[in-house]
Amino acid sequence: MKLTREEVREVAYLSRIEMTDDELDRMTGQLGAILDYADMLNELDLEGVEPTSHVIPMKNVMREDVVKESCGVEKALMNAPDRFGDFFRVPKVIDEGEGH
């Protein structure tokens, strides 16, 4: 598997990470090396082995549907860079949503 500079640029954009051309080159090399390393797994015969989605052998960890006291609006907003009344304030969003 060969990681391209364009793929790194796209992933950086999706993660909102700004990168210089130098950084892009360096990341393409470093991330590529990691992927190549993981690629060694493909040399194993994994026929009939379920893909691991979770490393802890646990299932059905659940809670009952019981309301707990919330943390309070002041605590919630304590670390907010900006607020407007009880709202978090963020830079004006012009996009109408990502369609999610």
Partner 1 sequence: MKYEPVIGIEVHAQLKTESKLFCGCSTGFAAAPNHHVCPVCLGLPGTLPVLNRKAIEYVVRTCIALECEVSPASRFARKNYYYPDLPKAYQISQYELPIGRNGKLTVRAGGKEKTIRIHRIHLEEDAGKLVHDASGGSCVDYNRTGIPLMEIVTEADVRSSEEAVAYLTSLRSILQYIGVCGANMEKGEMRCEPNISVRPVGAEEFGTKTEMKNLNSFRAVRLGVDFEIERQIDAIENGERIVQETMRWDEATQTTQTMRSKERAHDYRYFPDPDLVPVEVSASVLELIRAKAPELPEPRRVRFISQYGLPEYDAEVLTGSKAMADFFERAAAIHNDPKAVSNWIMTELMGCLNESGKTIDECAVTAEDLTALLELMGKGVISARMGKDVFKDMFATGRPPAEIIKDKGLEQLNDETAISDAVEKVIADNPGPAADFRAGKKQAAGFLVGQVMRQTGGKANPKIVGRIIEEKLLSE
Q: Which positions touch partner 1 (CB under 8 A)? A: 10, 13-14, 16, 53-56, 58-73, 76-77, 82, 84-100
What is the nearest approach in angstroms of partner 1 to the Cβ of residue 92?
5
- Output 43 or 68, the one with its CB closest to partner 1: 68
Using alpha carbons, select from 66, 70, 1, 73 the residue that is nearest to residue 33: 1
What is the nearest approach in angstroms of partner 1 to the Cβ of residue 15?
8
- CA 1/CA 35 separation, integer angstroms: 7
C-alpha atoms less than 13 angstroms from C-alpha of 33 in its C-beta half-sphere? 5
What is the nearest approach in angstroms of partner 1 to the Cβ of residue 9?
12
- Output 45 or 86, the one with its CB closest to partner 1: 86
- Output 2 or 68, the one with its CB closest to partner 1: 68
The answer to whether the CB of 24 falls within 8 A of the CB of 9 is yes
- Sign, CA dihedral 38-40-7-22, equals positive
What is the nearest approach in angstroms of partner 1 to the Cβ of residue 1?
17
